Amino acid sequence: MSTDRVWPSGVAKVVLPETDSTMAEAQRRLGDLAGPTWILALRQTAGRGRRGRAWQDPQGNFAATLIRKSDEPPARLALRSFVAALALHDALADLTRLPEAFALKWPNDVLLNGGKLSGILLESHGPGILSLGIGVNLHSAPERDPEAAFPPVSLRQETGLVIRPEQLLDRLAPAYETWEERLRTYGFDPIRTGFLRRVARLGEPLVARTLKDEFHGTFDGIDDNGALILATAEGRRAIPAADIFFP
């Protein structure tokens, strides 16, 4: 777990009282981007998650986007979702002193006591522009979606702890840079190792649902590209993107 709590050099921070979406705000600021920038909104009115799903974000919850430029290919940029998940896990564990309560769900959700605490959305805005949107239920959780694999939970309801969004950002930004530096220096291996140490249900049966298919098997790790490895009756299968469910 990263213990570095100093705001990273060369990384900007923008805190807004309110915005529609920090991802949309990041796009609007592309022309003014001088370096990596975190955009935090204390209230977000039109947040969204994967596949265009709405993301509810009442006052007190965390909504932020990291936008940065990179000359790396898209497949390499996509690995930042794992970097973000590891950084968020470490920041939350550091703030709460409850590391055993948190786990990761492939590809990038953070779980608290088995419930979904956060979501991470990665988007590319043209060549070399990456946005990482992160939402965390610090204060309250939305109603459960019957189609969701895990019930939503909030940090306050599960632990009794009250953490302000700015507090979390001040731990998250340095933790992210720590894992980012490991990826740039050593490649994906330390990221994969760190992720698998924190991941939920490794070695257990799961169902992976893509837009077209459904696969049943045992969670057998992740490959060099971050794809889920599923051990099925027909052999091992790498699944790049899917919603996963545990029986």
What mean pLDDT do residues 159-177 have? 97
The overall average pLDDT reported for the chain is 91
What was the pLDDT predicted at 2? 47
What was the pLDDT predicted at 74? 82
Confidence at 146, pLDDT banded by 50, 70, 90? low
What was the pLDDT predicted at 143? 81
The full 3-state SS of the chain, as one line of letters, equals: CCCCCCCCCCCEEEEECCECCHHHHHHHCHHHCCCCEEEEECCECCCECHHHCECCCCCCCEEEEEEEECCCCHHHHCCHHHHHHHHHHHHHHHHHCCHHHEEEECCCEEEECCEECEEEEEEECCCCEEEEEEEECCCCCCCCCCCCCCCECCHHHHHCCCCCHHHHHHHHHHHHHHHHHHHHHHCCHHHHHHHHHHECCCCCEEEEECCCCEEEEEEEEECCCCCEEEEECCEEEEECCCEEECC
pLDDT per residue as tens digits for the range 31-86: 888 899 999 999 988 766 554 555 556 789 999 999 998 888 888 888 999 999 99
Q: Which position has the higher pLDDT, 111 or 45?
A: 111
What was the pLDDT predicted at 47? 65
What was the pLDDT predicted at 6? 92
What was the pLDDT predicted at 190? 97
pLDDT value at 135 more than 60? yes
What was the pLDDT predicted at 69? 87
pLDDT per residue as tens digits for the range 215-226: 999 999 999 999
Q: Which domains does the chain have, with CATH numbers?
A: 12-198 (3.30.930.10), 205-245 (2.30.30)
Taking the C-alpha atoms of residue 158 and residue 86, their distance in angstroms, rounded to an integer, is 21
pLDDT per residue as tens digits for the range 183-238: 999 999 999 999 999 999 999 999 999 989 999 999 999 999 999 999 999 999 99
Share of the chain above pLDDT 70, in %: 93
